[in-house]
Structures are given as structure tokens and as C-alpha cells.
């Protein structure tokens, strides 16, 4: 594997050596004592990493040849992540391996809290016993749960499986909530002799099990608001709908050039449009026109402050929680058909091979001639007949050239099948069907990627390495690459790990062969898991998955705040002005990354809720599935036909005692030696579903070794 030159974090050996010292906190060790605990790292490399750790002030040398973890001689500071059994793991910045805290050792801390932890070491113990000594900062002010009445007492059962205790609710603190209500509540305190913490109800969402109440509960669970304050709504309502001639005169006019949108059939906000015209020299001009949100929302105004806080729209199974009020997202900034709209555009001159000959950026005004759904556009592309058939065919062919060039340059092509729910009038799922990604989807995606890439490249190279909120994706770790290569080899695929480009090429070759097959259902998700997560930062690191050296989000300012920042900075560059303090970009980028992660978690929670609700109709029925995860308490199974995921708990596996082997990601029977591992095809029966905890329990019927 070639040496990385973009990564900001330390090598695996650095983290491994530091991890040994963290686990032996307050205990000086020499390099041989450390090396004996990590036999995979040579003594020479251990010494090298120890010297680097000292230079980085991660550890100290209390005496010659001895090394001591120095973050604190008394305690560790980190964030708690609970599992469903009440055990927790402390995530400490700069430490690769999390520290386990057993149930009962977490004091009054809850999921996500920042805590101080002390580790007690007894004679002969290398790991020590960790326990919370105080909560430094709560991860949230409110929680979500369901009221449960037992006799004269009220309790709140928290949603999800990360909260490890129920809350006692004094009647005077119920604020009108009744048994079975879904509520938002605050943690009050946890008296020394009390079995449960005390709570106060702050809002009633509705009856538990009702679709709207459950969806709002998920939004609240992850810290998002479903409504805008009156001041924000008012600020949006008073914005003028009419576009003045004075404003049009400032802009490049595209109103007479063929322009259309392509979006999902049920879309309400259209934040991008494409224009097309053939040039006299035989090339083509394609305009990527993006809703000019920055014209309506200015830094530090009422709407902007709310948008900064939200940072993203949240997409649940049956609704969208927008970043901007609907007056903006669905009206003023939506590029609706047969209306004039203000846009910020990336305009490209390309030849038929997709080679960019020229490009420019401009504030523009457009007129959308037509609104295509993806299905409508796909039908025109396939039949070569219908509205704008010639334009769509040419644009699709150019997009194909752009896509092939990306893959040739090392971009990775994942084509996993996603599913969507069919809901009845009450929001209950009646079917799960695959979402098909065809040429129309890929064409729009390619032009959005083109605009994002060139905006980032232009601002970095032309404007003193401007600190944009870059969208970055780091190279996967060598460990994860080797791990996936080993798994793929079991299926007969040779993954080249000699360089990142070779690795990408091997993945693409594998994907081309397995798309639409059982092997594809197994290997593609595993390959995706081997990758790092993309995030926002003001540092230009590049995007490994797309094989772009420059990449920033520009094309969705209606639903992503980093795009709005990019719009402002591009306009500042074009007009030689500065509209806000650029030193805040990294803070905004970090906040946006965290909000994006929470929004993704909320979306997954809504999907999981509907999966549990849907599978509740199939208790006792059998399905084929594949093993999608293995833990020390159970085996995750994904049903092949609908992608619903549940668990076979180790305690429910009869006929043997099964042990988890973390290094092999397998469980094995002590007597039968029967093993279950990632990607294995199995037959399961639906045992039970729990909507409150969003759990589906399976039991094995039989296993089919793949």
C-alpha cells in the first residue's frame, strides 16, 4: 500500500501503542512491557511510536526508559456509548480502543454524555475496572419516551435501546400526560437511595403507536425541532415573491435557454435545474443551476441563525423536517416549472466526450420549461421519444463519459439496492419495494458532482487556498482494506491492495460481476463498511470515494448549510468582497458534520421503526437472510427480500453454547464447532418484534453455508 499523504490522523501502530498505555493508566511501562502486549508491532516500531507520543504530549517519561499515559493521572475524559444490556464504552479522543464500563459502573450518566472515568487496577489485573466518577456535560436536555402507569406510580420508558433505565415521574410533574402517551421529558435528578432517576414531562407528542407521534418522537430523540419559531416563519413570510427587474439586470439571463428539473415524483423542493444548448463550435453548454438561497438568507439574520443550528434537513420515511421554512424551501427557492427563479450557476462547455473546455460561475435567472420525475426522464432516455428527447439523450451520453472518466481515475462504484415502504393512510407499512437507480438518477448525480468539484477546485486554486467547508472522504485504513480483501477472497475475488487506486479498481471489477446477485448483497455492504465516513472540514483533504482532489457541496443549499456557506464564499470571490468571518468555517463544518450524523441516525431510526412495524405482521414466518453483523450478544440478520434487519440472540441459540470470536467476527459452538460469520446465508423465523425498543428478534431455522 502506498504511503498516505492526505491523512490527518496517526498510524495504526501509534494508536495501538497509545492504547496499551491507556489500558495501563497510572502504571509506568518500558518498551518491552508494551511490546509484549502488541506482538504484531516490532520493538523498534514501539520505540519509534513512544518517542512520537512523547513529542505529541500524549504521554510522559517519568524516568529513563519508562513511559506513562499522561492525559490525567487520576481520570479519563470521554463520551459514553451504551449497548442494549446497560454496559457502556468510553470513547476517548486519540485512543483507538474504547474502554468498557460494566452495567452499574456508570453512575447517573446516559447515552452520549461526556464523563470523567477512573480505572481501578487490582493485583494481577491488566485491564482494570472502569467506572464513572462524574458527568461533565449532558449530551442533551430532553429525552423521549412512553408513559407507563403501574398502580399509583408513573414511569417513563425511554425510546430506543441506548437508555438503560426507566424514569420515575411524580404525578405533579406529568403536566397532563396519561398512560400510553408519547412524551418529551427532562431529567431532574437521581436521589442517592432512589432506584430510578426522576423526570418532568415538557411536551406531549400524542399516543404511543400513532404514526405522527412516533415520527415526531424520533425527530425529538435526535435533537431536531419539527416546527419553526414564529419569528423565523414571519421572517420568511415577508420575503418578496416577485423578482424585480433591477435584480434580473444584475444577472446572466437563461430564461430563453432550454431548462428543466429532474427529481423524485413526490419531491416538493427543486433545488437544481439543468439547461442545455448546442454551441456554434459543435460543443455543448450545460448549465447546472442551483437555487440562490443566499439571495434570500443573509449571514446572521433570523432565518440564517435557525439554519445554522439545524444545519441539514432530516428525511424520515414519511416526511421531511426542513432546514428552511417551507416559504423558502417549497416556494421562493424551489425551481418550480413555468416560473422564473433566481439561481447560482456553474456553466460548462463540454465536448461529446465529456471533456470540459471552459467553465464559469454566475448569478443567474432561469425559467424552468418542464419538470421531469426520474421515471419520466428515464422513459424518454430509453424510448428516445418525448419532450426534450434529443437533449436528454445527449446529456445522458456526456454524463456517461464523465462517470467512466471518474472510475478510470479511481472512483469507486457502489450500486447497492435500497428499499422504500408503501404506507397506508395511517402511515402503516403495507409493502417494502426496491428503489431502482437508473440512467436518469445517475445523469443528474454526475452533473451535481461536476459542479461541486469545479467550485471547490476554483476557490482553492484561484483564491489563496480558501477555507471552504470541503466535503472530504479519507482513504480507508490498511487494516480495514486487508480485512475486506480477506473476506472477498473467500468468495473467489482477488482484491489488489498494493495502492489505493488498485484497490478501487478491484472493488469496481468485483461490483460489476456481482451486481444483482447474492454475493453482491453480501460483499457490497461489507466493502462500504470498510470505508471511512465522509465529513465537512475547512481543510482540503480530497475525496477518496469520488477520486477528486477538490470537492465541496454547492448543489443543495435548501437542505444543507455547508452548501449555503459555499455559495456565499463563491459570490464573495466573484465580487471581491467578504460577507462573513471565514475563521468560523471550521466550527460550522464540524457542527454540520455532527448534525448530519444525527439526521442520518434519525432517518435510520424511522426506517427501523417501520421495519419493526412491518415485520410484526410476519411473526412465526420464515425467511432467507444473510448475516450482516456479529457481536458478543447476538447475530444480526438481514432478510434478503426486504432488507429488514433483526437479531438472533446467543441466548436463544439452542443445542450448544456459542462464544464470540472478535478477531474473526464469528461465533462458534463449543461442542459442535458450528460457526456463524459475516456474509453467511441463513434461514430464520421471526420470533418477536418490539416497537418501543425498535427490535426484531429472530431464531435460526437452519443455516446455509455460502
Model pTM greater than 0.85?
no
On average, the pLDDT of the chain sits at 90
**pLDDT per residue as tens digits for the range 528-561:** 888 999 999 999 999 999 999 999 999 999 999 9
At residue 650 the predicted structure's pLDDT band, cuts being 50, 70 and 90, is very high
Work out the average pLDDT over 118-137: 71
Which part of the chain is CATH 2.40.50.140? 619-704
Question: So what CATH class is 76-137?
Answer: mainly beta
Work out the average pLDDT over 336-344: 97
Dihedral over alpha carbons 658, 662, 664, 667 (to 10 degrees): 10
Q: Is pLDDT larger for residue 358 or for residue 61? A: 358
Instruction: Provide the 3-class DSSP secondary structure of residue 486.
Output: helix
Picking from 152, 150, 200, 202, the residue whose alpha carbon sits closest to that of residue 180 is 150
Sequence-separated contacts (24+) of 28-36 with Cβ below 8 Å: 28/62, 28/63, 28/66, 28/67, 28/68, 29/66, 29/67, 29/68, 30/65, 30/66, 30/67, 31/65, 31/67, 34/67
CA-to-CA dists, residue 178 to 169, 201, 682, angstroms: 11, 11, 43
Residue 702, C-alpha cell as written in the block: 437452519
Is 70 a residue whose pLDDT tops 70?
Answer: no
**Separation between Cα atoms, residue 148 and residue 177, nearest integer Å:** 10
| 143 CB-contact burial (10 Å; exposed 0-12 / middle 13-18 / buried 19+) | buried
Domain 12-69, CATH number (from 1.10.10.10, 3.30.830.10, 3.40.120.10, 3.40.1370.10): 1.10.10.10
At residue 20 the predicted structure's pLDDT band, cuts being 50, 70 and 90, is confident
Q: At what angle do helices 585-615 and 211-221 cross, to 10 degrees?
A: 150
Pairing of strands 88-91, 99-101: antiparallel
Is 582 a residue whose pLDDT tops 60?
Answer: yes
Which part of the chain is CATH 2.40.50.690? 76-137
User: Superfamily for 619-704?
Assistant: Nucleic acid-binding proteins (2.40.50.140)
DSSP state of 171: G
Which part of the chain is CATH 2.40.50.700? 142-208
**Separation between Cα atoms, residue 179 and residue 212, nearest integer Å:** 18
| Radius of gyration from C-alpha coordinates of the chain | 28
Q: Which fold has domain 142-208?
A: OB fold (Dihydrolipoamide Acetyltransferase, E2P) (2.40.50)
**pLDDT per residue as tens digits for the range 223-271:** 899 899 999 999 999 999 999 999 999 999 999 999 999 999 888 889 9
Work out the average pLDDT over 190-194: 81
Cα 132 from chain centroid (whole Å)? 29
Q: Choose the weakest-confidence range: 96-100, 214-218, 252-256, 641-645.
A: 96-100
Q: Is pLDDT larger for residue 508 or for residue 518? A: 508
Task: Give the pLDDT score at 129.
Answer: 76
Residue 368, C-alpha cell as written in the block: 424552468
Is 335 a residue whose pLDDT tops 90?
Answer: yes
Q: Choose the weakest-confidence range: 53-57, 153-157, 314-318.
A: 53-57
Picking from 366, 312, 364, 313, the residue whose alpha carbon sits closest to that of residue 335 is 366
- Give the Cβ contact number of residue 587 at 10 Å: 11
**Separation between Cα atoms, residue 567 and residue 575, nearest integer Å:** 12
Top-confidence range, 49-53, 214-218, 274-278: 274-278
Which part of the chain is CATH 1.10.10.10? 12-69
Top-confidence range, 82-96, 387-401, 406-420, 575-589: 387-401
Is 331 a residue whose pLDDT tops 50?
Answer: yes
Encode burial over 177-203: b for 16+ CB neighbours within 10 A, e otherwise: beeebbbbbebeeeeeeeeebbbbbbe
Work out the average pLDDT over 69-96: 77
**Separation between Cα atoms, residue 36 and residue 170, nearest integer Å:** 55
Task: Give the pLDDT score at 557.
Answer: 97
Work out the average pLDDT over 18-27: 79
DSSP 258-327: -EEEEE-TT-----EEEEEEE-TTS-EEEEEEEE-HHHH--TTSHHHHHHHHH-B-EE-SS-EE-SS-HI
Is 611 a residue whose pLDDT tops 80?
Answer: yes
Picking from 629, 638, 639, 643, the residue whose alpha carbon sits closest to that of residue 676 is 629
Is 472 a residue whose pLDDT tops 70?
Answer: yes
CA-to-CA dists, residue 348 to 287, 290, 547, angstroms: 6, 14, 20
Pairing of strands 198-207, 88-91: unpaired
Q: Is pLDDT larger for residue 176 or for residue 194? A: 176
328 half-sphere exposure, CB direction, 13 A CA radius: 26
**Separation between Cα atoms, residue 565 and residue 588, nearest integer Å:** 9
Task: Give the pLDDT score at 3.
Answer: 39
Amino acid at each position: 500500500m502506498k504511503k498516505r499523504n492526505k491523512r490527518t490522523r496517526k498510524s495504526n501502530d501509534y494508536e495501538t501503542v497509545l492504547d496499551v498505555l491507556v489500558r495501563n493508566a497510572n502504571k509506568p511501562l518500558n518498551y518491552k512491557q508494551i511490546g509484549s502486549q502488541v506482538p504484531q508491532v516490532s520493538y523498534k516500531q514501539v520505540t519509534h511510536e513512544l518517542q512520537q507520543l512523547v513529542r505529541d504530549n500524549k504521554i510522559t517519561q517519568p524516568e529513563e526508559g519508562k513511559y506513562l499515559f499522561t492525559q490525567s493521572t487520576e481520570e479519563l475524559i470521554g463520551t459514553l456509548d451504551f449497548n442494549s444490556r446497560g454496559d457502556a464504552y468510553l470513547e476517548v479522543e486519540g485512543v483507538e480502543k474504547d474502554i468498557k464500563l460494566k452495567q452499574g459502573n456508570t453512575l447517573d450518566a446516559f447515552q452520549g454524555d461526556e464523563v470523567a472515568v477512573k480505572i481501578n487496577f487490582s493485583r494481577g489485573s491488566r485491564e482494570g475496572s472502569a467506572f464513572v466518577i462524574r458527568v461533565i456535560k449532558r449530551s442533551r436536555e430532553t429525552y423521549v419516551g412512553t408513559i407507563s402507569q403501574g398502580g399509583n406510580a408513573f414511569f417513563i420508558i425511554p425510546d430506543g435501546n441506548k437508555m438503560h433505565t426507566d424514569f420515575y415521574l411524580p404525578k405533579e410533574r406529568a403536566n397532563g400526560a396519561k398512560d400510553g402517551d408519547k412524551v418529551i421529558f427532562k431529567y431532574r435528578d437521581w436521589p442517592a437511595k432512589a432506584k430510578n432517576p426522576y423526570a418532568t414531562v415538557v411536551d406531549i407528542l400524542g399516543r404511543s403507536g400513532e404514526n405522527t407521534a412516533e415520527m415526531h418522537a424520533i425527530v425529538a430523540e435526535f435533537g431536531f425541532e419539527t416546527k419553526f419559531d414564529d419569528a423565523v416563519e414571519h421572517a420568511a413570510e415577508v420575503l418578496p415573491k416577485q423578482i424585480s427587474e433591477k435584480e434580473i439586470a444584475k444577472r446572466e439571463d437563461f430564461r430563453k435557454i432550454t431548462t428543466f428539473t429532474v427529481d423524485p415524483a413526490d419531491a416538493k423542493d427543486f433545488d437544481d435545474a439543468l439547461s442545455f444548448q448546442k454551441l456554434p463550435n459543435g460543443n455543448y453548454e450545460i448549465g447546472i443551476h442551483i437555487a440562490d438561497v443566499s439571495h434570500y438568507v443573509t449571514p446572521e439574520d433570523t432565518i440564517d441563525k435557525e439554519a445554522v443550528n439545524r444545519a441539514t434537513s432530516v428525511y424520515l420515511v414519511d416526511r421531511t423536517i426542513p432546514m428552511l421554512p417551507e416559504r423558502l424551501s417549497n416556494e421562493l427557492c424551489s425551481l418550480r416549472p413555468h416560473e422564473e427563479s433566481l439561481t447560482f450557476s456553474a456553466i460548462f462547455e463540454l465536448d461529446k466526450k465529456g471533456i470540459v473546455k471552459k467553465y464559469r460561475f454566475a448569478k443567474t435567472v432561469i425559467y424552468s420549461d418542464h419538470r421531469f420525475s426520474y421515471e419520466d426522464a428515464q422513459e424518454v432516455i430509453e424510448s428516445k421519444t418525448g419532450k426534450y428527447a434529443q437533449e436528454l439523450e445527449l446529456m445522458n451520453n456526456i454524463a456517461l463519459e464523465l462517470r467512466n472518466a471518474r472510475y478510470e481515475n479511481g472512483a469507486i462504484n457502489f450500486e447497492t439496492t435500497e428499499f422504500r415502504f408503501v404506507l397506508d393512510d395511517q402511515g402503516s407499512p403495507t409493502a417494502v419495494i426496491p428503489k431502482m437507480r437508473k440512467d436518469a438518477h445517475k445523469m443528474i448525480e454526475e452533473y451535481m458532482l461536476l459542479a461541486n468539484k469545479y467550485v471547490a477546485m476554483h476557490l482553492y486554486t484561484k483564491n489563496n487556498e480558501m477555507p471552504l467547508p470541503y466535503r472530504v472522504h479519507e482513504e480507508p485504513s490498511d487494516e480495514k482494506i486487508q480485512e475486506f480483501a480477506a473476506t472477498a477472497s473467500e468468495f473467489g475475488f482477488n482484491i489488489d491492495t498494493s495502492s489505493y487506486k488498485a484497490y478501487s479498481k478491484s472493488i469496481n471489477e468485483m461490483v460489476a460481476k456481482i451486481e444483482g446477485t447474492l454475493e453482491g448483497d453480501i460483499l457490497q455492504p461489507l466493502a462500504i463498511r470498510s470505508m471511512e465516513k465522509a465529513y465537512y472540514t475547512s481543510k482540503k483533504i480530497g475525496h477518496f470515494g469520488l477520486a477528486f482532489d477538490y470537492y465541496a457541496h454547492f448543489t443543495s443549499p435548501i437542505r444543507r448549510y455547508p452548501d449555503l456557506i459555499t455559495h456565499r464564499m463563491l459570490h464573495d470571490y466573484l465580487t471581491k468582497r467578504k460577507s462573513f468571518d471565514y475563521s468560523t468555517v471550521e466550527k460550522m463544518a464540524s457542527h454540520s458534520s455532527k448534525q448530519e450524523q444525527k439526521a442520518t441516525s434519525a432517518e435510520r431510526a424511522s426506517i427501523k421503526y417501520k421495519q419493526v412495524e412491518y415485520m410484526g405482521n410476519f411473526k412465526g414466518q420464515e425467511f432467507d437472510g444473510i448475516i450482516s453483523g456479529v457481536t458478543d450478544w447476538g447475530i444480526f440478520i438481514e432478510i434478503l427480500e426486504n432488507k429488514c434487519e433483526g437479531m438472533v440472540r446467543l441466548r436463544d441459540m439452542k443445542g450448544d453454547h456459542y462464544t464470540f470470536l472478535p478477531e474473526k467476527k464469528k461465533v462458534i459452538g463449543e461442542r459442535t464447532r458450528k460457526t456463524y460469520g459475516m456474509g453467511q446465508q441463513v434461514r430464520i423465523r421471526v420470533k418477536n418484534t418490539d416497537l418501543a425498543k425498535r427490535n426484531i428478534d429472530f431464531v435460526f431455522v437452519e443455516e446455509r453455508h455460502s
